[in-house]
Amino acid sequence: MRTSRGAPWVILAESIGFGLIILVSWLDELVSLPQRLFGGAAGGRNLREAAFETAVVLLVAIPTLIFSSGVTRRLFRLEGFLRLCAWCRRIETGGKWVSLEEFFGRHFEAATSHGICPECATRVRAEGDRTEKPQ
């Protein structure tokens, strides 16, 4: 069973990327970044343009981050599922297949005991009644 905390890191990386886009937009207007990097004619400052570009980036970033957050949470939740053998009921952990009792003992430091749920108890009693009746 994996307990990954990768979802917040994905969102953080995307947020940093969108933040860098906004930073470059403002640097373009405040210090004529393209002129400083590549030479050429200097452009005037247009802070309204930078504000507009920031708004557009945020309009794209917010839904993207919300969608990515949901997708990554679901992905990491699905990766955390336990693989349980449908025949012997053992659980895969660390590449090995162990019994439920051993798994609970290792991962939760919990002792296990056996019992019977109400549905199974009813079914077992009904099966027992059928086999005990004389024919």
pLDDT for 20-73, tens place per residue? 999 988 888 888 877 777 776 666 777 888 899 999 999 999 999 999 988 888
Q: What was the pLDDT predicted at 48?
A: 86
Q: What was the pLDDT predicted at 115?
A: 87
Q: What was the pLDDT predicted at 101?
A: 85
Q: What was the pLDDT predicted at 2?
A: 45
Starting at the edge strand found earlier in the chain, the sheet holding 91-93 runs 83-84, 91-93, 96-98
Q: What was the pLDDT predicted at 40?
A: 67
The mean-pLDDT minimum among 26-40, 84-98, 117-131 falls in 26-40
Q: What is the DSSP string of 66-95?
A: HHHHHHHHHHHHHHTPPEE-TTT--EEETT
Asked if residue 103 has pLDDT above 80, the reply is yes
Q: Which residue has the higher pLDDT, 127 or 61?
A: 61
Using DSSP, state whether 114 is helix, strand or coil.
coil
Q: What was the pLDDT predicted at 17?
A: 93
Domain ranges of the chain: 6-81, 91-132
Contact at 8 Å (CB) between 11 and 75? no
Q: Which residue has the higher pLDDT, 107 or 92?
A: 92
Q: Which residue has the tokens 């955390």?
A: 80
pLDDT for 26-40, tens place per residue? 888 888 877 777 776
